[in-house]
Amino acid sequence: MAAPPFRASRGFANAHWQTIYGSLFAPRPAVAYRRERWDTPDGDFVDTDHVDAEPGRPWVLLFHGLEGSSQSPYARQLMHRVRARRWRGTVVNFRGCGGEPNRLARAYHSGDSAEVDWIVRRIRAAAGDAPLFTAGVSLGGNAMLKWLGEQGEAAKPIVTRAAAVSAPVDLMAAGEALGRGFSLFYAKHFLATMKARAEAKHARFPGSFDLARMRRARTLREFDDVVTAPLHGYRDTDDYWTRASSKPLLRRVAVPTLLVNAKDDPFLPREALPAPHEVSEHVRFEFPDEGGHVGFVHGYPGRIDWLPERLLHFFDHQE
């Protein structure tokens, strides 16, 4: 049974309306999470929110996007449907995103495939022989795809299927797009919360980065250059965006993987979307003309249930 294609609501046929509504105003169904705190290999922690079900049921693991969490609309929409299927589910709140500052100066970033690795392996051990499906949204999608590419065939015993949504697979192209035009609106939205977190981080770890430069940052490029890159082992923004991008590794993906990106995504120009020759035979594209960035709003008065149903359909069927 083929999955229905995405058709944008006529009232949300603009990429920016799709993006804004999907991230800020979309319905967030109630989900009764069970929280666990997991210590990381380097002495930090992540908070994980779980949807429980009987042992042996399929498990869906979600990695959220920049400044997201288990409370993001797409996360709650997906986990609401996971529960309805009586599957198991987990949303990983990246370091500092679970409602409490993390212990170390470092936080999370687009290329953190090492973080993805130990989390996926821990869930795999808990899942037993049950299918394990991984999903990544935006930043989390890039980090997950990078892990899949690095692991190649070694990922097949761990993950059954994977899906990435609105992943900025070419961080250089994405970063440049967010530095001009209307897309600067999104950059400023993210910068407001990122700079507030950075202020609190610097108060706990004085000298960890140049505070004055951070306060002057007006674009994601400037912020990443002074905060994200040095805190996570990169020389500068160019080094970070180049080495953290998942696109060069997509040829090595061995797990059946779905890429869902709208061609009008303001975070990634359509010309930067991967072409067939840039991915392995195991990667399937779904690039609708409309949908914005993690928007995919359809129907009336504005529903965002197409995306979680599309992911679960891919996980559930041998397409």
- Tell me if residue 246 is catalytic: no
- Tell me if residue 293 is catalytic: yes
Mean pLDDT, the chain cut into blocks of 10 residues (319 residues total): 82 79 84 98 98 97 97 96 98 97 97 98 97 98 98 98 98 92 82 96 96 96 97 98 98 98 94 97 96 89 91 90
Q: Which domains does the chain have, with CATH numbers?
A: 10-170+245-316 (3.40.50.1820), 171-244 (no CATH)
pLDDT at 284: 97
Options 47, 49, 225, 265, the catalytic residue? 265
- Tell me if residue 265 is catalytic: yes
Options 64, 109, 293, 298, the catalytic residue? 293
Options 23, 69, 70, 138, the catalytic residue? 138
pLDDT at 187: 84
Three-state SS letters, the chain: CCCCCCCCCHHHCCHHHHHHHHHHHCCCCCCCCEEEEEECCCCCEEEEEEECCCCCCCEEEEECCCCCCCCCHHHHHHHHHHHHCCCEEEEEECCCCCCCCCCCCCCCCCCCHHHHHHHHHHHHHHHCCCCEEEEEECHHHHHHHHHHHHHHHHHCCCCCEEEEECCCCCHHHHHHHCCCHHHHHHHHHHHHHHHHHHHHHHHHCCCCCCHHHHHHCCCHHHHHHHHHHHHCCCCCHHHHHHHHCCHHHHHHCCCCEEEECCCCCCCCCHHHCCCHHHCCCCEEEECCCCCCCCCCCECCCCECCHHHHHHHHHHHCCC
pLDDT at 17: 80
